[in-house]
Structure 1
Amino acid sequence: MTYQLEVCIDNIESLHTAIRAGATRIELCSSLALGGLTPSLGFMKQAKQASSIPIYAMIRPRQGDFLFSEEDLDIMLADVQAAKDANLDGIVIGVLTTDAKVNVSMCKKLIDAASGMGVTFHRAIDQCQDVEQALEDVISLGCERILTSGQKSTAQAGLETLAKLHQQAAGRIQIMAGAGVNAGNALEILNKTGINELHLSGKTVRASKMKCIQNEAQMGASDVDDFQIPVTGFSAIQSVKNLYQ
């Protein structure tokens, strides 16, 4: 069986690392620390030029929940167009209603705007009140896959729901497991659920290469070290890839 290994990244350095380590698809984001937001047009274009594998852009205009306004939708539609202009392979979306159902009408507008591109529905499904109905709604929209942790904090904790969703999907859509996936649990997730797509970031950090460090000039939150650069770890991705080769 062929397995897909999607790696989410938020900088160009990590793109190169993920590809070298064996990623088969990239989820392109900004701000992974916030769960992933829409990448810039410049990042989209540069990543497409540099990549030998498919790239899907996260379309999420802000952090927080997935209840978006009409203004948010206009932003997302413009970002979908940017992804098309950058010749990316697909988009990653998720919009919910106030009562935690899939917002079919808003999602359809985004999917229509992305005509010709692949579409993944992201972990917004993990916030739905009725995940079985949400799965059917996403299938009706024509998405290729759903990224989910089985409505738990990690995919390993959500194994039972992941297996049920895979069974319910019955080949109509791909179920991709994400959240806390690593070499220590990847095979268990694959074997116990029957799915064949995994999603991870392989998060690590590297020290700044600057020779002069100005620690007193904090750029953002006080608990964030500006001189520790979050990047994808080569071994974290390769170790998962090697499990099923």
Structure 2
Amino acid sequence: MNYQLEVCIDNIESLHTAIKAGATRIELCSSLALGGLTPSFGFMKQAKQASSIPIYAMIRPRQGDFLFSDEDVEIMLADIQAAKNANLDGIVIGVLTADAHVNVSVCKKLISAASGLGVTFHRAIDQCQNVERALEDIISLGCERILTSGQRSTALAGIETLAKLHQQAAGRIQIMAGAGVNADNALEILNKTGIKELHLSGKTVRSSKMNSIQSEAQMGASDVDDFQIPVTSFTAIQSVKSIYK
């Protein structure tokens, strides 16, 4: 199997940067600062038209935990249909029960709605109370891969669990390491776990291209600078990609 480098993005500028830097797959999101939410239909369509590599859409209707209401699930089903209408290659999902197990029945419903698309199970697994059971549940669902940090704040910190999950999976599903992956730790993660897929955003910021204006208006949280635009760093992606060679 070839190594895969998935880059999560939340704007069209970052799509072009990620592809040029060597990404092999895109996780399309909105609001990466919140952990990634569902992208708009317009973003899905434009990204697919512009992309030369597979695009998987995050299907997550709100920030927070992964215990979703019936109304949340209906939104997710509609968003999956949007991903299909945009001709995307796959979706990224994760739904848990109140006692922190994989909600197999709801996931089956989402996967059925996504028929014809690839499916990644995201870091909801990192909130499961029994990661070994969660892995088996996700395998039974027929997902292609699992994105996980090994239930730690970063993939490097969770490296032992990542290695165990890879061994338990035994080729039945791909384990993809994500959270805090960068050029300084990517090779160690690959070598010590045996996995072949990495996930990162390579986040940086650029200054607004607007002319200087004087305004006290704030569009969001007071600690967010509206004139610093979060984007993917070409160098961050390229430097991890170079490790694969």
- Deviation per residue, 1:69-108 (Å, 9 max, x gap): 0000000000000000000000000000000000000000
Match of 1:87?
87
Match of 2:182?
182
How far apart in 1 are the matches of 2:214 and 2:130? 50
Match of 1:5?
5
Match of 1:156?
156
Match of 1:166?
166
How far apart in 2 are the matches of 1:145 and 1:215? 46
Question: What is the deviation of 1:120?
Answer: 0.1
SS in 1 for 2:44: helix
SS in 2 for 1:199: strand
Match of 2:217?
217
Aligned length: 245
Kindly report which structure 2 residues correspond to 1:10-89, keeping only aligned pairs within 5 A, or say none: 10-89=10-89
How far apart in 1 are the matches of 2:102 and 2:31? 24
1:235 aligned to 2:238?
A: no
CA-based RMSD of the aligned residues comes to 0.6
Kindly report which structure 2 residues correspond to 1:140-155, keeping only aligned pairs within 5 A, or say none: 140-155=140-155
Question: What is the deviation of 1:2?
Answer: 1.8
- Deviation per residue, 1:138-176 (Å, 9 max, x gap): 000000000000000000000000000000000000000
Question: What is the deviation of 1:59?
Answer: 0.1
How far apart in 2 are the matches of 1:19 and 1:219? 30
Distance 1:214 1:85, change over 3 A: farther
How far apart in 1 are the matches of 2:61 and 2:46? 20
Question: What is the deviation of 1:244?
Answer: 1.6
- Deviation per residue, 1:203-234 (Å, 9 max, x gap): 00000000033441100100000000000000
- Deviation per residue, 1:1-40 (Å, 9 max, x gap): 6210000000000000000000000000000000000000
How far apart in 2 are the matches of 1:214 and 1:201? 32
Structure 1 runs (4+) greater than 2 angstroms displaced: 212-215
Q: What fraction of aligned residue pairs are identical, expressed as a percent?
A: 88
Structure 2 unaligned blocks of 5 or more = none
SS in 2 for 1:48: helix
Distance 1:229 1:174, change over 3 A: same
How far apart in 1 are the matches of 2:81 and 2:212? 41
Match of 2:124?
124
Question: What is the deviation of 1:133?
Answer: 0.1
TM-score of the aligned structures, taking structure 2 as reference length: 0.99
Match of 1:205?
205
TM-score of the aligned structures, taking structure 1 as reference length: 0.99
How far apart in 1 are the matches of 2:115 and 2:244? 33
Structure 1 unaligned blocks of 5 or more = none
Match of 1:99?
99
How far apart in 2 are the matches of 1:39 and 1:153? 24
SS in 1 for 2:14: helix
Match of 2:195?
195
